[in-house]
Amino acid sequence: MIDSHCHLADKAFAGDLAAVLLRAEEHGVHSAVTIADSLQEARRCMEIADEYEQVFCTVGVHPHNAKDWQPDDGKQLRMLALSSPKVRAVGEIGLDYHYDHSPRDTQRAVFREQLTLAAALSLPAVVHCREAIQDLKEILTAFPAVPFVIHCCTEVWEDVAPLVEQGAYLGFTAIATYPKSEDIRRTIRECPMDRVLIETDAPYLAPAPHRGGRNEPAYVREVAKLIAEVKSLSLAEVDAITTKNTIAFYRL
């Protein structure tokens, strides 16, 4: 089993990352992809991936941080991506109109610039979307050569179905296990299994009974269990298929 999206560079893991990764291993989670949300965090993700053989990483600037984008940042990201074989995607990038931490036109420009980078580097993109699906779709259609995952997918199926038909992956977190998430469970039900990734988005979004506390890669099992239940598959089947999907997407 692989945690396809977590933030191991977050300060929540500064004190005990080795123990966290050992616990993941003990729970059958043999690998993880640590995702960047800024240039600074990308550098830290790369250090972690250098230190731990089973960890891979991404480089990218989150839409929350788009307002801090400097003209030189695309070049910086490109240099980072080319400097380590552990960098497997550009991310996380996208649009967040829920928090609006950056002006929307800036978010769109920074998203486009990083998709251009992904295309130039032949890397897939890890895409964050919150209350912005129409603009997101419009931008992504201009980059048909960039494979992508909509991570932490909370979209209703009708909104993402055309993307999935064109080859997009959907990443699901423990949000799908929460009682109110019937729409997300319906999206899981409709999504073909060969397009499904599992992730924690740790340290955020811990599953019950850890809800409200720190999430960590070991808990990605809870997401796999939920998907098994919704899809009427065994946990072993979900493990096998999502592992295969994650390896294919990130070329691990």
**Part of the chain binding Zn ion (CB under 5 A), chosen from 83-91, 97-105, 128-136, 138-146:** 128-136
Residues near 186 by beta carbon (within 8 Å), at least 6 away in sequence: 156, 157
- What would the DSSP string read from start to end of 36-82? -SSHHHHHHHHHHHHH-TTEEEEE---GGGGGG--TTHHHHHHHHHH
Minimum distance of Zn ion from residue 178's CB (angstroms) = 17
Return the number of the residue (178 or 237) whose C-beta is nearest Zn ion: 178
Return the number of the residue (86 or 128) whose C-beta is nearest Zn ion: 128
Which residues in 128-139 are b (16+ Cβ under 10 Å) and which e?
bbbebbebbeeb
Minimum distance of Zn ion from residue 163's CB (angstroms) = 16
Return the number of the residue (37 or 73) whose C-beta is nearest Zn ion: 37
By beta carbon distance, the residue nearest Zn ion is: 128
How far is C-alpha 108 from the geometric centre of its chain's CA atoms? 19
Applying the rule CB under 5 A, the residues between 179 and 218 that interact with Zn ion are: 201
Return the number of the residue (3 or 201) whose C-beta is nearest Zn ion: 201
Q: Is 128 in the site for Zn ion (CB under 5 A)?
A: yes
Sequence letter at residue 64 = H
Residue ranges that bind Zn ion, judged by CB under 5 A: 128, 201
